[in-house]
Structure 1
Amino acid sequence: MPHLKQLDRSATLAFCPEKLPGNVPTLIAAGTVAGAVDMTFSTNSVLEICSLDFANGSELPSVVGSVQAPDRFNRLAWGQRLSSDASFPSMGLLAGGLADGSVCLWDPALIASKSDGRQPLLAKMQKHTGAVKGLEFNTFSPNLLASGAADSDLCIWDLAKPATPSLYPALKHILASSSTNGTTVVWDLKRQKPVISFRDPNSQRRASVLQWNPEVATQLVVASDDDRSPTLQMWDLRNSVSPLKEFVGHTKGVLGMAWSPHDSSLLLSSAKDNRNICWDVHSTDILCELPPSNNWNFDVQWCPTIPGVFSTSSFDGHVAVHSLHACTLPKITERVNADLSVTHQASGETVPLKKAPVWMKRPCGATFGFGGRLVTFANHRVTAMDASGQQVQRDQGIVTLSQAVRSLRVVMMQVVTERELVARSEAFEAAIAGGDKTTLLSYCEVKAKAGKAADVSSMQPGASGSQEDGETWAFLSLLFEAAGAHAGANGSAAGVAPGMGALNLAGSTTTSPTRLHGASGTDGGSATSFFAGQDDDPDFFDKLPDEGLMPNGTSAPATPLRRSAGGADTAHAGTKPAAAGESERGSGAGALMPQLSSLPDMSMEMEDEIQRALIAGNYETAVESCFKANRLADALLIANIFNSSDLYKRTMHRYMKRCPKPFMQIVRANVEGDFEALVRSRPVGQWRETLALLATYTQQEDWTRLCDLLASRLSLAGQHHAASLCYICAGNVEAVVAYWARSLAAAASRANTDSSAASRAAAAAASQAQLEELQGCIEKAVVMGLATGNKKASGALADLVTRYASTLAAQV
C-alpha cells in the first residue's frame, strides 16, 4: 500500500491536535494495541511520540520520545492545550484507555523532551472494571474527557488539574454512546439521563464505532462490525425511527471510522474486508479508495493539522500515514524479490478523485468580466445555527445568517481605474449626440482654446504638443462654420474653405475667417495678407515710376527730348522719363494721338510706327512696338483699351514673362488657372500662404485635390503636423487618421522606453498620458467624420477604435 510514513508495530494512534509553534513537524502518539502480538511475542506496552517530517525522505517516522505504559491500549486520545491555565501542559494531554480498565494521563511535552527526572505519567484513573473501549476529549472544553468501558460504565472526567482528575457531575453538552447490543444512546449529562435511544429495527447488529456529524448537530453515523450488516448508517435525532442514509460498500464488518475535520463531506472507514473507503457523505457514494491492504485496519484517524493526511493501523504490525491523493494512484501490487525485499508496482489506469476536497478548492477567487465587472467569492469558516439551535462550524462561501437561513452570495462589483477617461468619454458622447453642428462647433472651439491656453501658460515640455492639438481643433472647428464664402478667381461665391479661419501667416493659431476670405471675389481682402498690408489705391498703376516698367527692375534708357515732325516733344538723353500713367485714356485712336507724341524713352521712328499702327487700327503691331521699346505699361494700356480677341491676355502673359517677380507667380496662376503648378513650385515652408492662396482663388471642386497635393509635399518634407492640417482642409479622413495613429504609436513607444528605467509613479503617469492621447485621437477622428459625412472606416481608424473600445469597456 502506498504511504508517506510507516511505523512497523501494531499500535493505536493519535495526532497532535494543534500545530506547534515554529517549524516543528506534526507529532503523532502510538501506543501498543491490545489483542495483537508481534513476531517476538512481547507483552510490553510502549507509548511513543514520533515526528512526521515529510521533508525527510525516510519512510520511518523519527521517534522523539517513549515511555512504558502500565498495560496495552484500546484507545488513545490527544487533547488540546487549555489556554486559560498557564500550568496546563503546553502540548495538551495524552489519554490512554487501557485493557485493564484504567485511564492514564501523560504530558506529551515531557515525553518528547525526555525530561530530566520528571514523570510524564500525570495520573492513572481507575474507575472502570472492564477494558476501556471508548475515549474522547470534549472539543469545546479540552479539560473534559469521556470514557466508556466494557462494563457499560460511562465516565466524564474533569482534567483541569491533571494530577488530581475528578468525575464531572454535570455537563451542558450532549454525549452519545453505543453498545454491543446495537443500541445507541444520546445522553444529556446536565440532567444525567438519556435523551433518546435508537437501534436498527431490521437487524440485531452490534455497534462498533460512531461519529457525530461536524456540520449538523442532530446527525451521527453508527457503524457495525457485524459481518451480516457491514454498513454505515446515518441517523437524524429528529426522526430516529429509521436511518436517514446508509453507506453500502464494505463486505465485512466495519472496525474504524473518522470524519474529516477539514471537509465535513468526507468520511473514512476501514473494515475486515481489508478495504479503506472514503465516502461522500452527501451522496453516500464511494469517493475514492486506497488499494486493499494485507490485513484488517482496525483504526483510521485524520490529521487535524494537515488536510488530506490520515493514518491507518493494522493487525499485521504496521501503522501507516497516507495522503488522500494516494487514492488517485493506480492499483499497487507487491512483488517479492530474490533477496526477499518487497517492491510496490502500479498496475491499471489512474483513477482521479470524483470531486475535489474543500481544502483543494480556492479559498477565494476573482475574475474580471466584460465592462470592468469584477466577480469575487470567498470561502470562510463560519459559525451557523442548525435547526436545533446548536452552533456548528461550516466551510461555506460568503453567507448571510438570519433565522437559521443561509444564502450563498457571489459579489459582483464595478472597478473603475480611469475615471478621467470615463468622464471625457461621457462628455464627448453628449457633445456628438444627435450630430448637432452647433454643439460640435462649440466643442471644437473649447478644445482649441484649451490647447492654446496650455501652450501659453508655461514653457512645459508638453507645450508644443498642446499647441499642435489646439491648432488641430481650430481647423476642425472651421469645418462646421457656415458663415463666409470661398470666392473663386472669377468672383463667384462658393462654399466656405474649410479650416482657413485658423490660419495666421505670422504663425498664430487663430484669426478671423474674413482675414483670408472676402465676401466676394472682387473684395481683394486676402491680397492684403500677401502684400504686407498695403492699402488698395485705384490710381496704383498711374503712380508707378518709369524705372519699374523695365524687366528685372532696370530703368529705361534715357533719350533727350526733341521735336518730332508732327510737332510733338520726345525725350532726349539725360532727361528724366515721365510717368507712364500721365497719358489720358480715350475712347478712340484720335484721342490717343496727342498723348502718344509725348511718350518718353522712344525714338522718333518707334513713335511713328506706333502711331501708324494705331491710326491703321493694327493694335497688335502697336503692342509689339511697345514691347520692342520696353514700354510695357503702354503695351498693357493699349491692349486693355483695344482688346481684340485675346490680345490683352496674351499681352499679360508676355508681361509676366518679362517681369519674373516672386508675386507674379500668384498673378500668373490666377490668370492661367494653373494653381497646381503654384502648389508644386512654392516653398513648403510657406505652406500657410499657399493654403491661403488656394482658399482665396480656387473653386470648391479644385480645393480638395490641391489641399491633398500640398499635404503630400509637406509629408515628404517631414512636416507631418502641417500635412495633417492640410488633410483636414481636404476632408481626407483616412490620411489624417493614419497620421494620428502613427503619432500615438510613436508616443507610446517613447513612453515605454522612458518608463522602463523610471519609477512606478513615472510609469503610471506615462500610461495616463497615453490614454489621454488615445481619447483625443478618437474624438478628432469622430468629429472629422461627422463634419465630412465620411462613414467609411479605414484600417488605422478600426485599430484605434478597437483599442479604445477595449480600454473603455474595462471601465464602464
Structure 2
Amino acid sequence: MVYQFIERTAIPAWGPQQSQPLIAAGTVAGAMDATFSNTSTLELFQLSSDDSDKSLESLSKVEANARFQRLAWSASSGPGVIAGGLENGDITVWDARKLLDHDDAPVVHTSSAHTGSVGGLEFNPFAPNLMASGSANGEVFIWDIVSDFKSYSPGPRSQRLDLVTDLCWNNQVQHILATASNSGSLVVWDLRSRREVISLGSVGAIGQGSSRPGISAAEWNPQSATQLVTASSDDSSPVVMLWDLRNAQAPSSTLAGGHQRGILSLSWCRKDSGLLLSSGKDNRTVCWNPESGAIVGELPPSSNWVYDVQWNQANPNLLSGASFDGRINLYSLSRESDSPVDDPFAPRASTPFAPSLSLKSPPKWLARPCGASFGFGGQLVHFNQTGPLVSISEFVSEPELAQQAQRLEDVLEGGRAAELCGERAQGGEREWQVLQILFEEDARDKLVRFLGFDKDQVKARIKDLVKPTTPIEEKKEAEEEEEENPFASSSADGDDFFDKPPPPQAVDDLAVAFSGAFRIYDKSKDIGSEDADGLITRAILLGDVEAAVTLCMEQELFADALILAPYGSPDLAARVQKEYFAKRAQQAAYVRLLHAIVSGDLSDIVNNADLSEWDEVLALLCTYAQGDQFSALCEALGQRLLREGEGGNAVVCFLASGNLDKVAGIWIKDKKDVRTLHELVERVAVFRSAVQFVDSGVEPFLLAPLYDCYVEYAGALAAQGLFDIAAKYLDRVPADYQASAALPVLRNRLALTDITPWTVVPIGPIQQPIQPAQPVQPVQPAQQPVQPPLQQQQQQQQQQQMYGAYPTAYPTTTMPAAQHYSTAQPAYPTGGFAPAYQQPGVFQPPPPQPLNPASIPTGFTPPPRRDDVPWNDPPMMAKAAKRPSQAAAKPSAIVSPFPNGRDTPPPAQMAQAVGPPRGGFVPNTGKSLPPPPPGFAPPSQPPVHPGFVPQPMQMQPGFVPQPMPTHQQQAPPQSMRGQIVSAPPPARPDAVASAAAIAAAAVPKAAGPKYPSGDRSHLPEEWKPTVAGLTGHLARAKQFAAPGQKRMVEDAERRLLALFDSMNCDEVKGKEKLVPLFEGVVQNIDARHFAAALNVQAEIMAVSPELTSSVVGVKHLVNVLKTLPM
C-alpha cells in the first residue's frame, strides 16, 4: 500500500473491514487547526488504490457536540458502530452503515453519564456489544449497546484511580479489564466478580521526593493473559514498562532508549506479539520487540507530537499515526531494504516521509508458520515454529507402488516370474494367460488348445463319420497263395522281361493281400474304342506313366494321378501336385491349407485368410510353422489385426512371436498413471523372462517408447527411496539413448546415492619382533592416507590432532588430480640419483627417495615382506578395526595391484611439487638408497617406529608431471567401489612402549567371542525379557515397515543382533544399571510411548558408551515402529 495521509488534526479509528480499509477521524480535543474552527466533526475515509500525494477525501461527514478525546469502532461482521468519547463527558454512538449511506439520523445513542472528559473508550474484542469507558474521578462504566445501552460499574470505585487516561480489554480473557490513571496506578478489574483484582504502580521518580508519574497508555499482550505494558507521558521517564501479573511488585522488563520525552500512545499488534508501537512528545514512533527489548523499526519522525498510533487490527499491514502537525499519516509494512546509493542524479522524493515501516524481520502473519520441501528419494524436509529445527523424514507417497515394485524385484531375482504370471492369469485376463503359456515346454500345443482347438475332439468326430470296413486279410495269407501258384517263379532265375527293371518292392506296411481272379482290361475293344480306364491301363502296361497321369488328371482321378506320379519323371510329381491344387483349391478350403503345408509357405494363409478366423490361422502356424518362420508369420498376422483396430487379438500374436517392441507399443497406449505404468513394467518384465529377450541396444532403437517408460518408472521408484531397483531399470536403457531429457539427470542423481556400500576389511596390528632396549625418538602417529582434493578438504576441516602434534617423518607427496591413469614409468624425482627407466608395459611404483638415516629410528628389524597386504584406492576409514567373528568367513582382501610394490613404499617427490621443508626433517646428508633393479621387488623401506604409516600421495589439481622421453603405457583406473581397509587407530604418545617394554613381550593376539554369533542358548536370565521384547518388535517392523524404511530396518537388525551376541556372551558391563534401562525401553515400546523409549535409549548410551553402536539399532527400531499403525 502506498503512503497516504489525511489533512486533519483528529483522533483516528480503523474499521473492521479487511478488503476495503476504512478509517474514521474525529476532531481532537485540545488543539486548533489552521482555520481556528470550533466545529467538531466525525469523518469516514477510504484508502485509495492509486498513488497520490493529495490528502484523502472524506466519504461521509457528521458534526458532534464536542471534540473527541477517544474514538472506537466495533469489530462486528458488518460496518458496525463508531463510539466517540468527547471532552464534555458525553459518549455518542453512530451507525457506520448510516454514515456511509449519508443517512440524516446516524446517531444511535448519546449518554452524559460521565462527569468529566472521557479518557478511555474501547469495545470488547470477544463481545462487540460490550464497551468500556473511563473518565474523571475514577469513573468506569461497562455499556451494552444491544440492551438499550445499559451501563454498570465493574465494581466499587477504586481509590487508586483519579482521571482515567486509558483502558484496555484483556485479549485472552473477555471479562478482564485494565484501567490506567494519571495517578500512576493501573487497576485490573474482574467483571464476573465485579471487583478490583490487582493494582500496579508506575515506576519513575519514586524515592526522589516527587509524585508517581501518571500512566498515559496501557496495552495487554495479545498472546499472554497476564502480561501488559504501560507508558508515561512524564518526560523524566520516557520508557515502556512490561508487567507480569504473576509478580506485580515491579516491572518484569523496561523498554528504554527509544524516546527522549514522554510517551503518549501505545498499540500492540494482535497478530504478532513481537510488535509494539509507541509514540510520544519527541515526535517519534518506535516499533519494539517486547520480548528482546530491541527496536525493530521506526516510522518517519513528525514535526510535532505524535499523540496517537494504531495498528489496523483487521489488516495489520496498515498502521496510522496522528500528530499535532495536522496530519494523520497512514503507513504500510515492508521488508528492510539496503541503504540507497547516494546518486546525485537520482530524482528527489516528492514526499518528506517514507511510505512504510521497515522491519528487521518479517511479522508472524507474513512469515511462514511452517514449510516443507520434497527432496530426491522420498525425503521430506520440513520445519515449523516450535523450534529452530529442520526435520528430514522419509516419505513414501505411493506405498502401493513401492510394495509392488519390491515384490516384482524379489520375484525376478528369485526366478519366480512364472509363479507371478500364474497368479495374474487366475484373474482371467487373456494376455496373462498367454504369457503363462510361454513358460511351458509344449507352448505351441497349449496355445492351440487355448485358442479353442482340441485335437482329441476332432479325432473322435472323424471316427464317427468314417464307416466301418471289413478288415483286409493279412499278408501272410497272400504269401501262402503265392507258394501254391504253379506259375510263380523267381525273377532272379532269368532275364527281365523286355530288359525293364522290376517295379519297386512294396513296403511291408503298405502291402495289401488281394484274392480272387481279375481281368486287366477288356480285349474285345480296340484302342480306338477304349475308354479312359482302358487307356490308363494300356499306358501303365507300356510304362508311359506320364501319359497315364495326364489322363487321370483330365478325368479328375486325382488320387490315381498322385499315386502314379512318383513313378514317372522327377518333376512329374511336382507338376501333378501343382495342377491338383490349382483345380481343387476352389472346391474345398482345406486344399488351400494343404497347399500351404506341402509347399512349406504359410504366408498365403497369413496374408489372405479372413481376419475373423485369425485364431485358426494362429493355430495353423503353431502346428506347421518352422523355426524363425513362426515368429515372422505371427508378427505379420498381428500387424494385419493391428491395422484393422483389433489390438487385443494382435497382442496375442505378438506375444506368440516374442516381439517385444510391438506388444510394448500396444501396452504403452494403456498407460495413464503410476499404477498402469507399474502394470506395464510388470508385464514387460514377465514377458522378457518368458522368452529370454535380449535387447541389442543399438540404433535404431525399436524400444524407444519402452525406454521412456523405464525412465519414468525409475523416477517414480527413486521418489519412493528405491534407488537400487530404479538403477536396475535405468541399466536397461542403452547408454547411447539420449531422447529422454530426464535420463541423464536421473542417472547422475542415482550415481550420487550410496547404492553399493563399502566393504570394510579389518586389519589387526602388525606384531613387532622383540628387540633390545633402544632409545626411541617420538614420531608422528599413524596418519590417514591423504584423500583427493575435495574429500581432503572436507576431512581436514573435521580432523583433530590426537594427543598432541608430532613431526612427520615424510613429506606429503602430491600427484596431479587430472591424471586418471597412472603411468607405467615414474616421473623425474628430486633425489640424489636418477632411476633406471623401467620397460614399458610393466606397472611399477615410483622408486624410493633418498632419506637421511639420522631421521629414522634405529634398533628395530623391519618385519618380513608381505605380498598380501590389502590395498585400496579409496581413502581409509577413520574408524577402529572391528573384531571379526569366528563364525563368519573373512572377506578376501584386495591386494596391491602393483606387482613390484612394497608394503608401504615411501612417497616419491615429484618435480615442481616439492613444498617447503616440514618439521621433523634432518637436512640431506647426500646419502641415498640404491635404486631397485628393473623387474624385481624393491627392498623393504628403512625401519620406522611401530604404528607409523607414511603419508601417501595427495592429488593436487594443476600439477603437470615432466614429460618422459619414452613411450608410456597406462594402467586402468582402480574401481571406486570395493573394499576399504581400516587401519588401527593411532597410538597415544604416552602409550608408546619403551624399549624395555617392547623387549618384554610381543603384542598378544585378540581373542574371539566366547560363543558363536546367533547363539542364544547361553543368554543370562536377566537379559531374556529384553531380547524377547526387542526381537518381537523387530519382527513386526520387518513385516509392516514401508519399503522406504527397509534399509533402516536392516541396519537396526544388524545392530540388535550384535547387541544380543554381547548379551549372550555376557560381555555387557554394568548390568545392574543397564538391565532396568533396557526393560524400560521395551515397556515404553509396548505402551507406544516412543518419546520416552528414545529418552531411555539416550540414557543407555550415556551410561555405557561402548554400546553406542549397538544401541543405535534400538533408536532405528523405535523410529520405524512409531510410523506403523496400532
- Residue in structure 1 matched with residue 11 of structure 2 by the alignment: 12
- Residue in structure 1 matched with residue 996 of structure 2 by the alignment: none
Counterparts of 1:699 and 1:117, CA distance in 2: 103
Aligned partners of 2:331 and 2:355 also within 8 Å: no
Counterparts of 1:173 and 1:666, CA distance in 2: 103
Of structures 1 and 2, the larger Rg is shown by 1
Of 33, 36, 46 in structure 2, the residue corresponding to residue 38 of structure 1 is 33
The equivalences for 1:368-383 within 5 A come to none
Q: How much does 1:731 deviate?
A: 1.8
Counterparts of 1:50 and 1:639, CA distance in 2: 121
- Residue in structure 1 matched with residue 134 of structure 2 by the alignment: 147
Q: Can you list the C-alpha shifts for 1:438-487, whole angstroms capped at 9, x where unaligned?
A: 66336425424xxxxxxxxxxxxxxxxxxxxx5x55544533455xx4xx
- Residue in structure 1 matched with residue 548 of structure 2 by the alignment: 626
Aligned partners of 1:329 and 1:352 also within 8 Å: no
Aligned partners of 2:305 and 2:323 also within 8 Å: yes
The answer to whether the aligner puts 1:795 opposite 2:728 as a matched pair is no
Aligned partners of 1:14 and 1:28 also within 8 Å: yes
The answer to whether the aligner puts 1:711 opposite 2:659 as a matched pair is no
Q: How much does 1:656 deviate?
A: 0.6
Q: How much does 1:290 deviate?
A: 3.4
Structure 1 residues 243 and 423, CA, compared in 2 at 3 Å: closer, same or farther? closer
Q: Which amino acid aligns with 1:199?
A: V
Aligned partners of 1:278 and 1:289 also within 8 Å: yes
Counterparts of 2:402 and 2:456, CA distance in 1: 38
- Residue in structure 1 matched with residue 277 of structure 2 by the alignment: 268
Counterparts of 1:374 and 1:586, CA distance in 2: 85
Structure 1 residues 370 and 154, CA, compared in 2 at 3 Å: closer, same or farther? farther
TM-score by length of 2: 0.44
Q: How much does 1:738 deviate?
A: 0.8
The equivalences for 1:589-600 within 5 A come to 597-598=520-521
Q: 3-state DSSP class of the match of 1:107?
A: strand
Q: Which amino acid aligns with 2:139?
A: C
Of 686, 694, 698 in structure 1, the residue corresponding to residue 625 of structure 2 is 698
Q: Which amino acid aligns with 2:94?
A: P
Aligned partners of 1:208 and 1:255 also within 8 Å: yes
Q: How much does 1:259 deviate?
A: 1.3
Q: 3-state DSSP class of the match of 1:78?
A: strand
Q: How much does 1:197 deviate?
A: 3.6
Structure 1 residues 638 and 163, CA, compared in 2 at 3 Å: closer, same or farther? closer
Q: 3-state DSSP class of the match of 2:662?
A: helix
- Residue in structure 2 matched with residue 91 of structure 1 by the alignment: 81
The equivalences for 1:121-140 within 5 A come to 121-123=110-112, 125-126=114-115
The equivalences for 1:573-584 within 5 A come to none
Counterparts of 1:691 and 1:168, CA distance in 2: 99
Structure 1 residues 76 and 606, CA, compared in 2 at 3 Å: closer, same or farther? closer
Q: 3-state DSSP class of the match of 1:214?
A: coil
Q: Which amino acid aligns with 2:319?
A: F
- Residue in structure 1 matched with residue 228 of structure 2 by the alignment: 220
Q: Which amino acid aligns with 2:704?
A: G
Aligned partners of 1:219 and 1:234 also within 8 Å: yes
Counterparts of 2:310 and 2:635, CA distance in 1: 86
Aligned partners of 1:261 and 1:304 also within 8 Å: yes
Structure 1 residues 269 and 595, CA, compared in 2 at 3 Å: closer, same or farther? farther
- Residue in structure 2 matched with residue 108 of structure 1 by the alignment: 94
Q: 3-state DSSP class of the match of 2:621?
A: helix
- Residue in structure 1 matched with residue 299 of structure 2 by the alignment: 290
The answer to whether the aligner puts 1:254 opposite 2:240 as a matched pair is no
Counterparts of 1:48 and 1:361, CA distance in 2: 37
Aligned partners of 2:333 and 2:356 also within 8 Å: no
The answer to whether the aligner puts 1:478 opposite 2:437 as a matched pair is yes
Aligned partners of 1:218 and 1:238 also within 8 Å: yes
Identical aligned residues as a percent: 27
The answer to whether the aligner puts 1:61 opposite 2:61 as a matched pair is no
Structure 1 residues 538 and 667, CA, compared in 2 at 3 Å: closer, same or farther? farther
Q: Can you list the C-alpha shifts for 1:60-83, whole angstroms capped at 9, x where unaligned?
A: 2234211232xx55x314375999
Q: Can you list the C-alpha shifts for 1:254-304, whole angstroms capped at 9, x where unaligned?
A: 332211244433322223443333334445454444333333322112334
The equivalences for 1:551-566 within 5 A come to none
- Residue in structure 1 matched with residue 219 of structure 2 by the alignment: 211
Of 642, 664, 688 in structure 1, the residue corresponding to residue 615 of structure 2 is 688
Aligned partners of 2:596 and 2:602 also within 8 Å: yes
Structure 1 residues 47 and 374, CA, compared in 2 at 3 Å: closer, same or farther? farther
Structure 1 residues 168 and 738, CA, compared in 2 at 3 Å: closer, same or farther? closer
Q: Which amino acid aligns with 1:147?
A: G
Aligned partners of 2:94 and 2:106 also within 8 Å: no
- Residue in structure 1 matched with residue 422 of structure 2 by the alignment: 441
Structure 1 residues 24 and 279, CA, compared in 2 at 3 Å: closer, same or farther? closer
Aligned partners of 2:13 and 2:24 also within 8 Å: yes
Counterparts of 1:276 and 1:45, CA distance in 2: 29
Q: 3-state DSSP class of the match of 2:114?
A: strand
Q: 3-state DSSP class of the match of 2:111?
A: strand
Q: Can you list the C-alpha shifts for 1:530-586, whole angstroms capped at 9, x where unaligned?
A: x9996599999xxxxxxxxxxxxxxxxxxxxxxxxxxxxxxxxxxxxxxxxxx9969
Counterparts of 1:164 and 1:704, CA distance in 2: 99
Q: 3-state DSSP class of the match of 1:300?
A: strand
Aligned residue pair count: 619
Q: How much does 1:147 deviate?
A: 3.2
Aligned partners of 1:135 and 1:148 also within 8 Å: no
Q: Can you list the C-alpha shifts for 1:632-658, whole angstroms capped at 9, x where unaligned?
A: 755654566x7xxxx797553232123
Counterparts of 2:306 and 2:574, CA distance in 1: 120
Counterparts of 1:39 and 1:214, CA distance in 2: 39
Structure 1 residues 636 and 195, CA, compared in 2 at 3 Å: closer, same or farther? same
Structure 1 residues 713 and 654, CA, compared in 2 at 3 Å: closer, same or farther? same
Structure 1 residues 536 and 424, CA, compared in 2 at 3 Å: closer, same or farther? farther
Aligned partners of 2:44 and 2:58 also within 8 Å: yes
Q: Which amino acid aligns with 1:737?
A: A
Q: 3-state DSSP class of the match of 2:633?
A: helix
The answer to whether the aligner puts 1:76 opposite 2:70 as a matched pair is yes
Aligned partners of 1:272 and 1:297 also within 8 Å: yes
Q: How well do the aligned residues superpose, as a CA RMSD in angstroms? A: 6.3
Counterparts of 1:347 and 1:174, CA distance in 2: 37
Counterparts of 1:347 and 1:47, CA distance in 2: 27
Counterparts of 2:291 and 2:466, CA distance in 1: 101
- Residue in structure 2 matched with residue 490 of structure 1 by the alignment: none
Structure 1 residues 445 and 686, CA, compared in 2 at 3 Å: closer, same or farther? same
- Residue in structure 2 matched with residue 175 of structure 1 by the alignment: 178
Structure 1 residues 498 and 649, CA, compared in 2 at 3 Å: closer, same or farther? farther
Q: Can you list the C-alpha shifts for 1:780-799, whole angstroms capped at 9, x where unaligned?
A: 55554453344869333455
Structure 1 residues 498 and 287, CA, compared in 2 at 3 Å: closer, same or farther? farther
TM-score by length of 1: 0.58
Q: Which amino acid aligns with 1:698?
A: A
Q: Can you list the C-alpha shifts for 1:307-348, whole angstroms capped at 9, x where unaligned?
A: 4333321111223444445998999x9xxxxxxxx9835999
Aligned partners of 1:231 and 1:254 also within 8 Å: yes
Counterparts of 1:584 and 1:220, CA distance in 2: 129
- Residue in structure 2 matched with residue 760 of structure 1 by the alignment: none
Q: Which amino acid aligns with 1:209?
A: A
The answer to whether the aligner puts 1:156 opposite 2:146 as a matched pair is no
Aligned partners of 2:130 and 2:143 also within 8 Å: yes
Aligned partners of 2:565 and 2:576 also within 8 Å: no
Aligned partners of 2:143 and 2:150 also within 8 Å: yes
Of 242, 247, 259 in structure 2, the residue corresponding to residue 234 of structure 1 is 242
Structure 1 residues 735 and 665, CA, compared in 2 at 3 Å: closer, same or farther? same
